[in-house]
Amino acid sequence: LQTQSMESVALDKNGHVAIKIQAKPGAKCNNITDISNEAVSIAISAPPTEGEANAELVKYLASVLGLRKSDGSRSRQKVVVVTGTSAEQVLMKLRAEMEN
């Protein structure tokens, strides 16, 4: 299992882990479908209305990474910043979740 950083999971200028996400709302269940240099693709079970999918995405990511949640944005293309962990640990947890 490779754990080196990718462009989609990297440190930002403040030293926080930034995750580029391609959200896919309206799926049957929440899961990570792909991890590439461009983005981490995440299927979300909530519909893309009234911020439901964004709230579910943040909740799901917080669960996968074992972190507290804050808030999301309206676009399907997102950059999530997490603190208290490394890019390598985040990538390892995302890959483990994708393989489940």
Q: How many domains does the structure of the chain reveal?
A: 1
User: Phi and psi for 31 in degrees, rounded to 5?
Assistant: -165, 160
Domain that holds residue 77: 9-99
3 within a domain of the structure (yes/no): no
Q: What is the largest CA-CA distance in the chain?
A: 38
What CATH number does the domain containing 46 carry?
A: 3.30.1200.10
Calpha distance 31→62 (Å, rounded): 13
* Stretch 85-100: mean pLDDT: 88
Name 58's Cβ contacts closer than 8 Å, sequence gap at least 6.
Answer: 69, 70, 71, 72, 80
pTM over 0.85: no
Alpha-carbon gap, residue 65 to 42, rounded angstroms: 14
β partners of residue 9: 6, 19
Reported as a single tens digit per residue, the pLDDT across 30-60 is 999 999 999 999 999 999 898 899 889 989 9
